[in-house]
Structure 1
Amino acid sequence: MSAVWIDNDPSPAPAAKIERENHKLEKRLCRLVGQAIGDYAMIVPGDKVMVCLSGGKDSYALLDILLKLQRRAPVDFGIVAVNLDQKQPGFPAHILPQYLESLGVPFRIEEQDTYSIVKDKIPEGKTMCSLCSRLRRGILYRVAGELGATKIALGHHRDDLLQTLLLNMFFGGKLKGMPPKLQSDDGRNVVIRPLAYVNEKDLVRWAEVRQFPIIPCTLCGSQENLQRRQVGDMLRDWDRRFPGRLDNMLHALQNVVPSHLADPVLHDFRNLAATGVPSEDGDKAFDHEELPVAEALPALQVIKL
């Protein structure tokens, strides 16, 4: 019988420990994606899901996890990967086709020179994301129709959802986020975000584990002072110093109390009157509300794992 332990060290060999942690990460990612899909009915039997693949870690992970769930889930659905080649200078056009062929997944590379349009229309130093995203969105909607896709899957994760919420609050004057599922602005597509419950740190780790062939963006990726980047840095700092805070923020997006905001469209403040019936949602302005100490915020309480 061969020896298992060396020098009476009870800890597993490093390789075994790494493999175990990677397996736990895979299970967590599949569980969170599966839960988001179930909570929002993102995918139903017979769906054809168009996974938008940019070449970044998030969309690689999205495709990777959906392929795993496709093999395991009781729901029968199809997957087609789509990449929009925007003709950015130096873009390695061979990487994604080679990767997708190795997976054996159906795919389409759509070639459209949006890069030249964006560079021509946007002055030097100005943010390119808005025009770039509008052009990309319109093209992808068209491709979805041509492919007969019933859902368009994007790789936005939990941190993206929270960044969008804060950006709209700070700069747009709106309490508006990035929903896990919504109708597209052309009214003809349903957009889903299966990574809605997944934190970015786990996606970074998974990209390393799976060794995805990452392709950097030379448009938005080169603009270091974007407001989204600054808000993202703030969220990452919070996550490091106050574990659980971002999960509680996600939970808040799922537990909206319109009567305690200030939107007269969502809540009929004008006709509000005393009913004589006690209500837990009534005003408690004179009460001191007990909040948990920041360092002790509960982690991963929010999505009922």
Structure 2
Amino acid sequence: MSPIVNSVTPQAAIEQAENRHSNTFLRLKKKLERSVGEAIGDYNMIGDGDTVMVCVSGGKDSYTLLSCLLALRERAPVDFRIVAMNLDQKQPGFPDHILPAYFESIGVEYRIVTEDTYSIVKDKIPEGKTTCSLCSRLRRGIIYRTAAEIGATRIALGHHRDDMLETLFLNMFFGGKIKAMPPKLVSDDGKHMVIRPLAYCTESDIARFARSMDFPIIPCNLCGSQENAQRKHIKAMLQSWAREHPGRIESLATSLKNVVPSHLADQKLFDFVGVDRNTTLDEGDIAFDPQPIPEGNGGVIRLFSGQ
């Protein structure tokens, strides 16, 4: 058997080490950790004595999540335990040695769970169809079971701000619901608390961080190659908006924290039937902040009279 040769040259290794100590990288690291800390604080995600099971798939997001939580634990005012968990779904060619070696190299407690969900998904889903829904349901059950086995009080997932916005539009376009990924929720079985500490982090920052850290990324060959997945189309739409309309994505993210039920149409959230002239609302009948509309002759008109 021929020896395994490290593909990283000595010069490349030096450059990677220098990148991790550059001012640009340190600012990015600080930004991500600050964003994670703010999300944890805003939504009371982690408390003293918690055991946080961090789900690590081998992708850039979960590696970054684990890195940020380990860094924050060192200076957090509360004491909590971190256990990294990976589910080996027995995908053909999956390099099952990479994550255990990585976890041991950074000294984090970990649990590797092996379940052949790959065969189940391939058997149940016709070729060419999206596998994400069934795959995620199977994963979820195994994650909940493992959390119970290790006594985890929090399950940390690596979804970031872009994932949350993509889910919002997926639900609106295809599910008829205004619903995204919440930063914190109770699991489907009612027994676990699920948290998303990367809720304020952008995918672009995470990608830059992962490249600089040279994480041993493991691609998902089960669903990651499905170019027809609707989420990919939504992602492309949002990326296009970000390029053509700077600030739009930031505004969309802010809107998730500024919901006005009286100006939607859900009767479960607001008593529209009971509205009369004595009803006091936080906001009036202006649908949007007044904006000037250009006229054809170069002048402007106003949306509302008297302005």
TM-score, structure 2 length as denominator?
A: 0.87
Q: CA deviation at 1:272?
A: 0.9
Q: Which residue number in structure 2 is paired with residue 22 of structure 1?
A: 25
1:97-152 CA-partner distances (Å, limit 9, x unpaired): 00000011000100000000000000111110000000000000000000000000
What is the letter of the counterpart of residue 66 of structure 2?
A: L
3-state SS, counterpart of residue 222 of structure 1: coil
Instruction: Provide the rounded CA distance (Å) in 2 between the counterparts of 1:176 and 1:280.
Output: 23
Q: CA deviation at 1:284?
A: 2.5
Please, which of 64, 69, 74 is the counterpart of residue 72 of structure 2? 69
8 Å contact kept, 2:183–2:195: yes
3-state SS, counterpart of residue 50 of structure 1: strand
Does residue 1:92 correspond to 2:92, yes or no?
A: no
Instruction: Provide the rounded CA distance (Å) in 2 between the counterparts of 1:16 and 1:216.
Output: 24
What is the letter of the counterpart of residue 79 of structure 1?
A: I
Please, which of 151, 157, 161 is the counterpart of residue 160 of structure 2? 157
1:203-240 CA-partner distances (Å, limit 9, x unpaired): 00000110000000111111111000110111112112
Q: Which residue number in structure 1 is paired with residue 112 of structure 2?
A: 109
Please, which of 127, 131, 134 is the counterpart of residue 134 of structure 2? 131
Instruction: Provide the rounded CA distance (Å) in 2 between the counterparts of 1:18 and 1:246.
Output: 30
Does residue 1:37 correspond to 2:40, yes or no?
A: yes
Instruction: Provide the rounded CA distance (Å) in 2 between the counterparts of 1:196 and 1:179.
Output: 8
Please, which of 74, 79, 84 is the counterpart of residue 81 of structure 1? 84
Q: CA deviation at 1:289?
A: 2.3
Q: Which residue number in structure 2 is paired with residue 283 of structure 1?
A: 285
What is the letter of the counterpart of residue 107 of structure 1?
A: Y
Instruction: Provide the rounded CA distance (Å) in 2 between the counterparts of 1:95 and 1:55.
Output: 9
Instruction: Provide the rounded CA distance (Å) in 1 between the counterparts of 2:114 and 2:238.
Output: 35
What is the letter of the counterpart of residue 228 of structure 1?
A: R
TM-score, structure 1 length as denominator?
A: 0.87
Q: How many residues align?
A: 276
- Percent identity over the alignment is 63
Q: CA deviation at 1:243?
A: 2.1
Q: CA deviation at 1:17?
A: 11
What is the letter of the counterpart of residue 290 of structure 2?
A: E
Instruction: Provide the rounded CA distance (Å) in 1 between the counterparts of 2:240 and 2:112.
Output: 37
Does residue 1:170 correspond to 2:173, yes or no?
A: yes
Q: Which residue number in structure 2 is paired with residue 299 of structure 1?
A: none
1:49-88 CA-partner distances (Å, limit 9, x unpaired): 0000000000000000000001111111110000000000
Please, which of 212, 216, 222 is the counterpart of residue 225 of structure 2? 222
Q: Which residue number in structure 1 is paired with residue 270 of structure 2?
A: 267
Instruction: Provide the rounded CA distance (Å) in 1 between the counterparts of 2:63 and 2:279.
Output: 56
3-state SS, counterpart of residue 224 of structure 2: helix
Instruction: Provide the rounded CA distance (Å) in 2 between the counterparts of 1:57 and 1:184.
Output: 24
Q: CA deviation at 1:241?
A: 2.2
Q: CA deviation at 1:172?
A: 0.5
Q: Which residue number in structure 2 is paired with residue 179 of structure 1?
A: 182
3-state SS, counterpart of residue 221 of structure 1: coil
What is the letter of the counterpart of residue 147 of structure 1?
A: I
Q: CA deviation at 1:92?
A: 0.3
Q: Which residue number in structure 2 is paired with residue 59 of structure 1?
A: 62
The runs of at least 4 consecutive aligned structure 1 residues that moved more than 6 Å come to 15-18
1:268-293 CA-partner distances (Å, limit 9, x unpaired): 0011111176x5512125x872289x
Q: CA deviation at 1:16?
A: 8.4
3-state SS, counterpart of residue 22 of structure 2: helix
Give the superposed CA RMSD: 1.8
CA distance change for structure 1 residues 69 and 276 in 2, over 3 Å: closer, same or farther?
closer
Does residue 1:212 correspond to 2:215, yes or no?
A: yes
CA distance change for structure 1 residues 68 and 170 in 2, over 3 Å: closer, same or farther?
same
